[in-house]
Amino acid sequence: MCMGTQLERAARQRSAAMRQRTTVARACVLLVLLSSVLAGCATGLDGRVSDSSVVHWVEKTIAERQAAAADKRFDQIAWVTDIRTAIQLGKEHNRPIFLYTGNGRINTGRC
């Protein structure tokens, strides 16, 4: 058998497999969309939600996602923007100074 024929046949098989996967993916998306629509119709809300329930949901979600006190320890550091203030605060509280200088892009790891 000719090498060109084998390559063409392999390409056709890959193409058919890709079409099959695409068809399955489209069917899954369609199924999810259809079930979402049916679930929305089953609630009986006719697409309307009261303002108070939205406000309650937003407030509850915000409260759930607030950082814990242990995660906010970073905010307790006395950050200042100039060295003179840092020296003054260090002397007042008998604490060391951490000096960070940014001279580039922090995301590259070079400061």
108 compared with 25, residue with greater pLDDT: 25
pTM (predicted TM-score): 0.32
Q: What pLDDT, in 10s, does the model give residues 31-78? A: 888 877 776 665 555 567 788 888 999 999 999 999 888 888 878 887
Residue with tokens 């399955």: 24
3-state secondary structure of 110: coil
The distance of Cα 53 from the centroid of its chain, to the nearest Å, equals 25
Backbone angles phi, psi at 68, to 5 degrees: -70, 160
Start-to-end C-alpha separation, the chain: 62
